[in-house]
């Protein structure tokens, strides 16, 4: 009986450990985002009339561990880690994020960069290196 309990606990630990690491981004690639765009944290959620949370994308660069996650319900795509970061960086290229941009310009450029010209609500949180975090929410 003790062997089975130990076996189950080990299996649970392996499953939980594996799931929690899926969003990890290699250090070098996370540093590339910071060096190229100056962004250390980015979260965007877009709701459309048809779908709440139609798009959710996030990137967080930390000393010990950087993570990225991307979900687009319109395209039925869910990506984690390196693949999610690649998708987010594609949007950054279109967005050309600027820490001194007006909030409305950040919202507009983020929505368009992620392919959502029509949306009901967008929530954006972005932190540029050396700047205060910006949290913006806009509803139509």
Per-domain residue ranges of the chain? 24-139
SS3 sequence of 2-21: HHHHHHHHHHHHHHHHHHHC
pTM for this entry: 0.81
Residue 52 CA: distances (Å) to CA of 114, 119, 123 = 15, 10, 12
Q: Which residues of 28-52 are buried (b: 16+ CB within 10 A; e: fewer)?
A: ebbeebeeebbbbebbbbbbbeeee
Q: Kindly report the average pLDDT of the chain as a whole number.
A: 85
Q: From the centroid of its chain, how far is CA 48?
A: 18
What percent of the chain is predicted at pLDDT more than 90?
A: 64
Between these two residues, 16 and 118, which has the higher pLDDT value?
118
Judged against a pLDDT cut of 70, whether residue 14 lies above it is answered with: no
């Amino acid at each position: 009986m003790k062997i089975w309990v130990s076996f189950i606990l080990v299996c649970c630990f392996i499953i939980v450990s594996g799931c929690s690491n899926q969003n990890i981004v290699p250090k070098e690639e996370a540093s590339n985002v910071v060096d190229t765009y100056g962004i250390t944290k980015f979260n965007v959620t877009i709701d459309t009339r048809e779908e709440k949370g139609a798009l959710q994308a996030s990137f967080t660069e930390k000393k010990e561990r950087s993570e990225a996650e991307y979900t687009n319900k319109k395209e039925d795509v869910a990506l984690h880690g390196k693949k999610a970061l690649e998708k987010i960086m594609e949007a950054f290229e279109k967005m050309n994020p600027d820490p001194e941009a007006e909030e409305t310009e950040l919202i507009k450029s983020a929505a368009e960069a992620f392919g959502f010209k029509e949306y009901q609500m967008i929530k954006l949180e972005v932190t540029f290196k050396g700047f205060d975090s910006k949290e913006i929410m806009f509803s139509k």
